[in-house]
């Protein structure tokens, strides 16, 4: 290969969408590169000018603009532009300007076309039309989340302890004690005849795996039989061994052990032992999940004991994320854990305070109501009391109940709500009739300022007590909201308050106005505004659903959004949620307190592009909302 082609290739191959190309295709791209230099401030592509090539930024930085002159994107080394114009009509629609001295590699249209035709991933990447990338990203992770597909190597926690079979029983026992293990693998030097069974260790020596000795063997075959501790291991070895490949599933490993009535299973990568898995590892693995956690919650008899479950809640969250579960599954699991915890806290409080003097319902708002809870979340709840409630007679009881549950939640890792949306707040501990009046008022006299603080109540679900109280409220909202354009318009206006950024540039978050930030709060700038948008549409079609995905299904069925739009929003919600959850899982693993602030440097190239697309979809959805639910008299 010519030196300059290698030079171009080395750089290009490190950046998407080229990083996925075959060597052959990469050579074709590198061999076709043409080069042009642009001083900072000069125009690289003029609107309506011809486009004959894809542009790749070798060094420097550029800005891309929309037709109205607004900043559309800022790109740096390794980024590409011009792909949309190439795909469309070969005329520049998005003008481009160098903001630093910039060296561009141009890849001819003919090569670009061949790549699009020959490489599906490449084509997916450059075709930003619709939600293709977001869709394929979400769908791909969906395919990977089969729990049965978890490979057994995930359970390996240490390298296997091995000893030559010529060593004595005593040496083996000493080694096992030293490493604190209950089994040791037996090996002997490999030779030519065994060439298809040997493995090579880190020092390059060849070995043959011949068997395994366990605590039980030492007891049964040595001590009980009175055999000398100086006996070589080879003479007591079974001479056979059941093992499993590291890529097999956890499920398969468990079945193998049950089938053969064994407690330990050596795990091999090809022929090399990489670990030993114990039946107890599998039991622990199987029980370290949310179902087990929920059971465990109801067994606890004190707030203190419940609070001690916090590490397990986090472990279960991390595991779900690591296994590739989607945000809906994780959100559902975390919500059921949270709800169980809350229900248990109410039970414990009732046990202490006595039975409630009048029927009531503990209801939740926000993420717990939407069934999309993540790991860090404030408590948002309220109490609906029976209309027979008399403040003087019953007030103290419910105040105390609310206080205990709220304190308990705080102790269990659900901090107090800063906005005061808690049943401890007298305004949010009211009889059903009063609650109905609240909602009727909010809907009939929609003051945006007041709505800003009350919109959280429009996601609501019962947790404990008279569930039908909350259902009545949900019915009231569903029937009244859709008939009140002013209410929907006010809600829509509030939904535009928080906007997504434009994307990323180098290690910064790029804002709509071109400013840079070091981090992005993915909840505040993405997930929450998207939930706001979805809520408006859901209320607009009279949906009773609380979960974002379910709401989107109902919005779609009602035909309230243009075709394909709800799918896009659904992919966007999934992607933003899972990126946030992955980030939080990583922070837990790194021993940091999980939060919502994501630094661009921790985002992979491909995730950046997908996130940018998600932000764009959210931004478009916000614009559509303004148009769909216009403020009256404006």
Binding stretches for other proteins (CB under 8 A): 2-8, 10-11, 31-39, 42, 58-60, 100-103, 106
Task: Give min distance, CB of 544 to other proteins, in A.
Answer: 59
The string of DSSP codes covering 568-592 is HHHHHHHHHHHHHHHHHHHHHHTT-
Q: Decide: 370 and 459 in contact? Cβ < 8 Å.
A: yes
3-state secondary structure 461-515: EEEEECHHHHHHHHHHHHHHHCCCHHHHHHHHHHHCCCCCCCEEECCEEECCCCC
Report the DSSP pairing between strands 34-38 and 102-108. Answer: antiparallel
Long-range contact set of residues 355-358: C-beta below 8 Å, sequence gap at least 24? 356/397, 356/398, 356/401, 356/465, 357/393, 357/394, 357/397, 358/385, 358/386, 358/388, 358/389, 358/394
Task: Give min distance, CB of 6 to other proteins, in A.
Answer: 7
Task: Give min distance, CB of 34 to other proteins, in A.
Answer: 5
Task: Give min distance, CB of 37 to other proteins, in A.
Answer: 4
Q: Decide: 152 and 248 in contact? Cβ < 8 Å.
A: yes
Distance of CA 404 to the CA centre of its chain: 32
Smaller CB separation from other proteins, 111 or 573: 111
Task: Give min distance, CB of 420 to other proteins, in A.
Answer: 54
Q: Other CB atoms closer than 10 Å to residue 419's CB: what's the count? A: 12
Smaller CB separation from other proteins, 58 or 525: 58
Smaller CB separation from other proteins, 38 or 362: 38
Enumerate residues 6+ apart whose C-beta is below 8 A from 616.
none
Smaller CB separation from other proteins, 33 or 541: 33
Q: Other CB atoms closer than 10 Å to residue 27's CB: what's the count? A: 17
Q: Given strand 162-164, what is the order of strands in its sheet? A: 162-164, 183-189, 206-214, 199-200
Tokens linked to 604: 């992979």
Smaller CB separation from other proteins, 55 or 72: 55
Q: Decide: 169 and 227 in contact? Cβ < 8 Å.
A: yes
Task: Give min distance, CB of 2 to other proteins, in A.
Answer: 6
Q: Decide: 64 and 73 in contact? Cβ < 8 Å.
A: yes
Residue 308 phi, psi (nearest 5): -70, -10
Report the DSSP pairing between strands 503-505 and 460-465. Answer: unpaired
Tokens linked to 17: 């969408």
Closest to 566 in 3D by CA, of 576, 578, 551, 580: 551
Task: Give min distance, CB of 36 to other proteins, in A.
Answer: 5
Q: Which residue has the tokens 């661009």?
A: 600
Tokens linked to 55: 């542009």
Smaller CB separation from other proteins, 33 or 422: 33
Smaller CB separation from other proteins, 81 or 397: 81
Smaller CB separation from other proteins, 53 or 333: 53
> Distance (Å, rounded) from C-alpha 159 to C-alpha 208?
17
Smaller CB separation from other proteins, 11 or 272: 11
Task: Give min distance, CB of 20 to other proteins, in A.
Answer: 23
Q: Which residue has the tokens 């091995």?
A: 162
Task: Give min distance, CB of 51 to other proteins, in A.
Answer: 14
Tokens linked to 188: 């002997």
Long-range contact set of residues 220-226: C-beta below 8 Å, sequence gap at least 24? 222/169
Distance of CA 105 to the CA centre of its chain: 36
Q: What's the half-sphere exposure (Cβ side, CA atoms, 13 Å) at 205? A: 8
Task: Give min distance, CB of 60 to other proteins, in A.
Answer: 6
> Distance (Å, rounded) from C-alpha 489 to C-alpha 484?
9
End-to-end CA distance of the chain: 66
Smaller CB separation from other proteins, 52 or 144: 52
Tokens linked to 404: 């205990």
Task: Give min distance, CB of 44 to other proteins, in A.
Answer: 11
Task: Give min distance, CB of 567 to other proteins, in A.
Answer: 41
Task: Give min distance, CB of 39 to other proteins, in A.
Answer: 4
Task: Give min distance, CB of 99 to other proteins, in A.
Answer: 11
Smaller CB separation from other proteins, 44 or 405: 44
Smaller CB separation from other proteins, 35 or 283: 35
Closest to 239 in 3D by CA, of 277, 207, 278, 208: 208
Smaller CB separation from other proteins, 4 or 467: 4
Smaller CB separation from other proteins, 96 or 552: 96
């Amino acid at each position: 290969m010519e030196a300059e082609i290698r030079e171009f290739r080395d750089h290009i191959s490190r950046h998407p969408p080229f990083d996925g190309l075959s060597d052959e295709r990469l050579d074709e791209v590198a061999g076709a590169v043409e080069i042009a230099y642009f001083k900072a401030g000069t125009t690289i592509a003029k609107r309506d000018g011809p486009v004959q090539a894809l542009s790749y930024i070798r060094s420097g930085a550029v800005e891309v603009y929309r037709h109205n002159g607004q900043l559309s994107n800022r790109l740096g080394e390794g980024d590409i532009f011009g792909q949309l114009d190439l795909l469309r009509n070969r005329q520049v629609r998005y003008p481009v300007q160098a903001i630093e001295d910039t060296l561009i590699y141009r890849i001819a249209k003919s090569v670009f076309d061949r790549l699009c035709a020959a490489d599906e991933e490449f084509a997916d990447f450059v075709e930003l039309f619709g939600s293709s990338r977001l869709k394929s990203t979400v769908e791909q992770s969906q395919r990977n989340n089969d729990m049965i597909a978890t490979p057994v190597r995930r359970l390996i926690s240490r390298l296997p302890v091995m000893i030559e079979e010529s060593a004595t029983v005593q040496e083996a026992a000493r080694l096992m004690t030293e490493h604190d293990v209950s089994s040791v693998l037996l090996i002997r030097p490999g030779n030519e005849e065994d060439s298809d069974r040997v493995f090579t260790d880190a020092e390059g020596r060849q070995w043959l795996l011949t068997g395994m000795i366990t605590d039980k063997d030492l007891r049964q075959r040595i001590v009980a039989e009175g055999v000398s501790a100086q006996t070589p291991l080879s003479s007591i070895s079974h001479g056979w061994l059941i093992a499993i490949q590291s890529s097999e599933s956890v499920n398969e490993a468990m079945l193998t052990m049950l089938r053969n009535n064994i407690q330990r299973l050596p795990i091999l990568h090809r022929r090399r032992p990489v670990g030993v898995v114990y039946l107890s590892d599998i039991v622990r693995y199987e029980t370290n999940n949310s179902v087990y956690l929920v059971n465990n919650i109801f067994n606890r008899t004190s707030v203190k004991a419940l609070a001690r479950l916090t590490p397990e809640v986090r472990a279960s969250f991390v595991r779900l994320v690591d296994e590739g579960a989607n945000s809906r599954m994780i959100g559902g699991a975390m919500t059921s854990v949270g709800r169980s915890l809350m229900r248990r806290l109410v039970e414990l409080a009732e046990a202490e305070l006595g039975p409630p003097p009048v029927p009531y319902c503990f209801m939740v708002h926000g993420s717990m109501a939407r069934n999309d809870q993540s790991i860090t979340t404030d408590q948002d709840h309220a109490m609906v009391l029976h209309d027979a409630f008399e403040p003087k007679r019953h007030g103290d009881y419910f105040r105390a109940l609310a206080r205990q549950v709220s304190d308990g939640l705080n102790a269990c890792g659900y901090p107090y709500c800063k906005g005061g949306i808690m049943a401890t707040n007298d305004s949010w501990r009211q009889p059903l009739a009063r609650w109905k009046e609240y909602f009727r008022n909010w809907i009939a006299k929609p003051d945006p300022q007041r709505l800003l603080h009350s919109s959280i109540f429009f996601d609501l679900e019962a947790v404990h007590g008279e569930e039908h109280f909350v259902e009545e409220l949900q019915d009231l909202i569903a029937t009244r909201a859709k008939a009140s354009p002013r209410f929907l318009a006010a809600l829509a206006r509030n939904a535009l308050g928080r906007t997504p950024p434009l994307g990323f540039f180098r290690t910064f978050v790029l804002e709509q106005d071109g400013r840079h930030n070091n981090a992005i709060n993915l909840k505040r700038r993405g997930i929450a505004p998207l939930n706001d948008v979805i809520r408006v549409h859901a209320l607009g079609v009279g949906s009773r659903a609380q979960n974002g995905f379910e709401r989107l299904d109902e919005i779609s069925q009602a035909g309230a959004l243009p075709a394909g739009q709800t799918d896009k929003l659904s992919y966007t919600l999934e992607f933003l949620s899972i990126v946030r959850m992955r980030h939080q899982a990583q922070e837990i693993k790194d021993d940091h307190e999980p939060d919502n602030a994501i630094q661009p440097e921790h985002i992979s190239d491909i995730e950046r592009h997908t996130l940018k697309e998600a932000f764009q979809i959210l931004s478009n959805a916000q614009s559509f909302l303004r148009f769909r639910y216009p403020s009256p008299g404006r």
